Amino acid sequence: MPAGYHQFCPVSKAMELLDERWTLLVVRELACGSEKFNDLRRGLPRMSPSLLSKRLQQLARSGIVERHTEGKDVRYVLTTAGQELRPVVEALGAWGVRWVGELGDEDLDPTLLLWDMHRNVDHTAVPDGRIVIQFSFPDAPTKTRDWWMVITADDADVCDVDPGYPVAVMVNASLRRMVEVWRGDMTWSQALVAGDIDVLGPETLRRDLPRWFTPSPFASIPRPA
């Protein structure tokens, strides 16, 4: 931890706790509902486990996170102070979506995309029973090209190997377009019309699929003219 700012300004005092690399992204993950170490890791794939561990300890010392253990089960939970960082994260995201438009190829991580989509499945909107969606990103490297999302009444799993169940809908998409749709930079229908995303399957499922996922809060932020 570098020295503080030696300023009484509340912004400075906040940044003394929050300005280190990864810190607010850990908070974001916690605010998104991840509680377990390895779930946090999945949302922060490029972060080393030792650094994640360190950040969690720092956040705990700062009173932002509490470490709960029940038997072998360990969970990290935002304190009240931590939950009140949500407006900060939201303001940052709202700004980012408006003013940091262009994504590099490096930002297009299919693992992260599927992880993010899977935790935003709206189970009330998905038909009953087990629904399997296959995603295929032709422009992605072979290893991360094909994905299967298995949705049941109260769960959603992601696999990078065919789990064997019959596929209900197949989504064939440019990875970049899929990410852009997910971020709200464009709509499903725009991408479909443009031919950048193909949805294959029964008519009703094809039509309803966009509603199976609750859009990110940033999707609705108006973009600058």
The footprint of a second copy (CB under 8 A) covers 2, 4-25, 28, 45-46, 63-64, 80-81, 84-85, 87-100, 103-104, 106-109, 112-113, 116, 179, 182-183, 218, 224
The radius of gyration of the chain from alpha carbons, rounded to an integer in Å, stands at 19
Cα angle 107-95-41, degrees, rounded to a multiple of 5: 40
Residues in the chain: 225
How far is the C-alpha of 110 from the C-alpha of 159, rounded, in Å?
12
CB of 21 to DNA, least distance (A): 3
Cβ of residue 9: shortest distance to a second copy, in angstroms? 7
Buried b (16+ CB within 10 A) or exposed e, 169-207: bebebbbbbbbbbbbbbbebeebbeeebbebebeeebbe
Residue among 16, 27, 114, 10 at smallest CA distance from 64: 27
Report the nearest approach of DNA to the CB of residue 37 (Å): 4
Three-class DSSP category at 76:
strand
Q: For residues 23 and 136, which CB has a smaller minimum distance to DNA in the complex?
A: 23
Q: Which is nearer to a second copy, 106 or 203 (CB)?
A: 106
Work out how close the CB of 169 gets to DNA at its nearest, in angstroms, rounded to a whole number. Answer: 27
Closest approach of Cβ 210 to a second copy, in Å?
18
Q: Give dist(CA 220, CA 217) in Å, integer.
A: 6
Q: Is the dihedral of CA 122, 126, 131, 136 positive or negative?
A: negative
Report the interface residues with DNA, using CB under 7 A. Answer: 1-3, 20-22, 36-39, 46-51, 53, 56-57, 67, 72-74, 76
Q: Which is nearer to a second copy, 90 or 208 (CB)?
A: 90
Binder of residue 50, out of DNA, a second copy, none (CB less than 5 to 8 A by kind) = DNA
Q: Residue 148: which of DNA, a second copy, none does it interact with, CB under 5 to 8 A by kind?
A: none
104: partner contacted, choices DNA, a second copy, none (Cβ within 5-8 A by kind)? a second copy
